[in-house]
Amino acid sequence: MLATTRFDSSQSLEQTITRYVQVYNQHIPQKALRHIAPIQTLKDWAKKRPELFKKRVYNLRGLDILDLETLAGRLRRPLHVKR
């Protein structure tokens, strides 16, 4: 996405990367983690070895719901949705 998307500003790019990292860590299962999201793996590990953690591991709020037209506008490309 980053290679094909033009951003209005460095702030817009930074926000997009921050959101992607959150989605990646909180919601996307990883093959290397036996198809479990990284945050769930970390929570499971914290239960087994609580002495290794100074802070409680918790999920962040869910994904933001963004309408497709707004998303297409932010990506600066036409919206093609199969219906």
Residue 43 lies in a domain: yes
Q: Which pLDDT score is estimated for 44?
A: 92
Angle between helix 10-27 and helix 38-48 axes, rounded to 10 deg: 50
Residue 29 lies in a domain: yes
Residue 23 lies in a domain: yes
Q: Which pLDDT score is estimated for 14?
A: 87
pLDDT for residue 59 is more than 90: no
| 76 token code pair | 């600066």
pTM beyond 0.85: the answer is no
CA distance 28 to 78: 26
Which alpha helices (DSSP H) does 30-77 contain, by range?
38-48, 68-75
Residue 47 lies in a domain: yes
Residue 40: domain span: 10-75
Residue 53 lies in a domain: yes
Domain count, the chain: 1
Span 10-28, pLDDT tens digits? 888 888 888 888 888 888 8
